[in-house]
Structure 1
Amino acid sequence: MKAHVYVTMKKTVLDPQGQTIARALNGMGHTGIAAVRQGKYFEIELAEGISLEAAKAELDQIASEVLSNPVIEEYRLELIS
């Protein structure tokens, strides 16, 4: 089983890197781009035999305590069989 973890800035937090990317894209002629939010992506392979419930609990703890800063970031988990 694998997990994908997506970490992004909360909507209420300014994302200067995303704004810079959006300006660069507009400057390159991609005028249909209104905004960009950048983030981090993690692909985690889980040990064989772990239950779905245990995997979700462990990944939630890892994402909230290690992979993200809960003050300014949010995360989303996807489990893939």
Structure 2
Amino acid sequence: MGRIIVEVMPKPEILDPQGKAIAGALPHQGITVFGGVRQGKRFELAVDGDVTEEALEAARKAAETVLSNPVIEDVVGVYAGEK
């Protein structure tokens, strides 16, 4: 069984309240090396058999039409994951 990973992030101009909350919480944990945080989404799509170019193209289409909101999000990655 193969797996396809789809990664979606808010567009840079869109406010990210979850990322901002995480960035504010990190210093309370003693973690001060990061200047900012953006939180996105990761989807794992199971494929019967090996990941083919056809399956990757279907995942790209799903990413653009179902898994993301193109008004406020960018699809930043669609790739075969490890088995």
- TM class by shorter chain equals 0.7 to 0.9
TM-score by length of 2: 0.83
Distance 1:65 1:32 in 2: 36
Cα distance, 1:17–1:49 mapped onto 2, change above 3 Å? closer
Gaps of 5+ in 2: none
Distance 1:71 1:2 in 2: 27
1:11-64 deviations in Å (ceiling 9; x for gaps): 1211111011001002222111211111111111112377x2211221111111
* Contact 2:5/2:78, CA 8 A, preserved across alignment: yes
Corresponding residue for residue 56 of structure 1? 56
Corresponding residue for residue 73 of structure 2? 73
SS at match of 1:45: strand
Corresponding residue for residue 45 of structure 2? 44
How many residues of Structure 1 are paired with residues of Structure 2 in the alignment? Answer: 80
Which runs of 4 or more aligned residues in structure 1 lie more than 2 Å from their structure 2 counterparts after TM superposition?
A: 47-50
Q: Percent of pairs identical after alignment? A: 40
Gaps of 5+ in 1: none
Report which stretch shifted further, 41-50 or 18-27. 41-50
TM-score by length of 1: 0.85
